[in-house]
Amino acid sequence: MIEQNTSRTELAELGEFGLIEHLTRNIILKNESTITGVGDDAAVIKAGDKHLLISTDLLTEGVHFDLTYTPLKHLGYKAAVVNFSDIAAMNGLPKQITVGISPSNRFSVEALEELYSGIYMACDKYGVDLIGGDTTSSAGNLFIAITVIGEAEFEDITYRNTAKSNDLICVSGDLGGAYMGLLLLEREKQAFIADPNMQPELEGYDYILERQLKPEARIDIVKSLKALGIRPTSMIDISDGLASEIKHICKNSKLGCQIYEEKIPIDITTISMAEEFKMDPTIAALSGGEDYELLFTIKQADYDKIKSLSGISVIGHMTELNEGEYLISRSGTAVELKAQGWDAMKKNED
């Protein structure tokens, strides 16, 4: 008689990344064409003389987006771009996507046309082809699943597990803006619920609202690094917050790190919004997520090259594993980094 396992483990006990590791821990790759499977921003597949990068993202209404304040066109654009960002994080270029949607009957044909207009806009901007997908009905919420296919030369593909001790840690753009945009939208939503006649107070915050509602994939950085002859030693995109992402690189590369608070790039609008919420803007940068900037490491020998590239900040360096993962505060205090970014499987605190 087969003994059944009657124990129950709640999803929140493992969290999103723990669940992925748990469900995929026994995978054995069977095909020579599968170069890399689970464990990075995209899988790597050899197809003739090319190397393809493949990744899938699932967005769920009520978990990843709120249609109270997210226009469908913006949602379609963002759904496509966050997938393009996964390809950029592998140092590649996105080429094709497939789109699966599951709407309920509360959505009209015109509403879905608006959603797809955003997807088409993103594809046009980034030179990506929409080549297929699937549609089925939902009992309630809207679900969007996009698979992206990208390309890269084999020698250019960059992973999370190849950083070296003393490599410089770099980040593109600025951080924390998307999270502050989300907090602003949530604040105005609650005010609207309390008084449907109120007008949202959004003037002056265009930048952080765009960071949340209409992010961009940093394909420009991938191209610029290649033009300068810089091949990152590791790379990841910032979808779950700076702290979470650098810890991924540390874990996969079996290293530690030191990040300097004063070096973290934060826009003045983000700082202003954080002050309104009585929040330290560094927390927004470390734990907010959805910035979709690129976090990468380079050899120290490439420092002089990277200095010529605008919009890149060197924020720290990799260390040996036994030296731990630390943020060096403005006062010089070493604070252990904690991954407190967004986790769809856990109860996230505001």
Strand pairing class (143-152; 93-102): antiparallel
The pLDDT assigned to 140 comes to 87
Are 144 and 234 within one domain? no
At 269 the pLDDT is 96
Say whether both 323 and 195 belong to one domain: yes
141 vs 62: CA distance, rounded Å? 8
Complete DSSP assignment for 152-189: E-GGG---SS---TTPEEEEES-SSHHHHHHHHHHHHH
List the pLDDT tens digit at each of the 350 positions of the chain.
455 556 777 766 666 656 556 665 665 656 676 667 566 678 889 887 889 999 999 999 999 999 999 999 999 999 999 999 999 999 999 999 999 999 999 999 999 999 999 999 999 999 999 999 999 988 889 999 999 999 999 999 999 999 999 999 999 999 999 999 999 999 999 988 898 888 787 888 999 999 999 999 999 999 999 999 999 999 999 999 999 999 999 999 999 999 999 999 999 999 999 999 999 999 999 999 999 999 999 999 999 999 989 999 999 999 999 999 999 999 999 999 997 654 444 555 44
DSSP labels for 38-57? Answer: SSSSSEEEEETTEEEEEEEE
Whether 304 and 180 share a structural domain: yes
Round to the nearest angstrom and report the end-to-end CA distance of the chain.
48
Q: How far is CA 131 from CA 32, 59, 120, 227, 287, in A?
A: 26, 19, 11, 30, 35
Place of tokens 């709640």: 10
Whether 348 maps to a domain, the answer reads: no
Last residue of a domain, one of 104, 136, 156: 156
Q: Are residues 128 and 172 in the same domain?
A: no
The CB density around residue 152, as the number of other CB atoms within 10 Å, is 21
Question: Structure tokens of 71?
Answer: 């226009």
On whether both 238 and 316 belong to a single domain, the answer is: yes
- Final residue of a structural domain among 134, 156, 178: 156
| Residue 300, in any domain of the structure | yes
pLDDT at 8: 79
Q: How many CB atoms lie within 10 A of CB 147?
A: 18
Domain membership of residue 268 as a residue range = 168-336
Same domain, 46 and 113: yes
CATH number of the domain encompassing residue 90: 3.30.1330.10
DSSP type of residue 210:
H
Q: What pLDDT sits at residue 1?
A: 46
Query: In this structure, is residue 6 part of a structural domain?
Result: no
User: Does residue 23 sit within a domain?
Assistant: no
Do 36 and 179 reside in the same domain of the chain? Answer: no
| pTM, 2 dp | 0.89
Q: Do 215 and 187 sit in the same domain of this protein?
A: yes
345 in a structural domain: no
Is there a domain that residue 251 lies in? Answer: yes
Phi, psi (degrees; rounded to nearest 5) at 13 = -70, -30
Structure-block tokens of residue 290 = 């959805």
**Do 293 and 188 fall within a single domain?**
yes
Q: Which CATH number does the domain housing residue 245 bear? A: 3.90.650.10
* Same domain flag for 177 and 281: yes
Q: Is position 113 within any domain?
A: yes
Count of structural domains within the chain: 2
Is residue 347 domain-resident? no
3-state helix, strand, coil in the chain (%, to 5): 35, 25, 40
* Domain match, 188 and 256 both: yes
State the pLDDT at residue 28. Answer: 63
Same domain, 128 and 183: no
Which tokens hold the place of 19? 């669940």
Q: Given 97, 129, 156, which residue is the final one in a domain?
A: 156
Q: Provide CB contacts within 8 A for 207, sequence distance 6+.
A: 177, 267, 269, 270
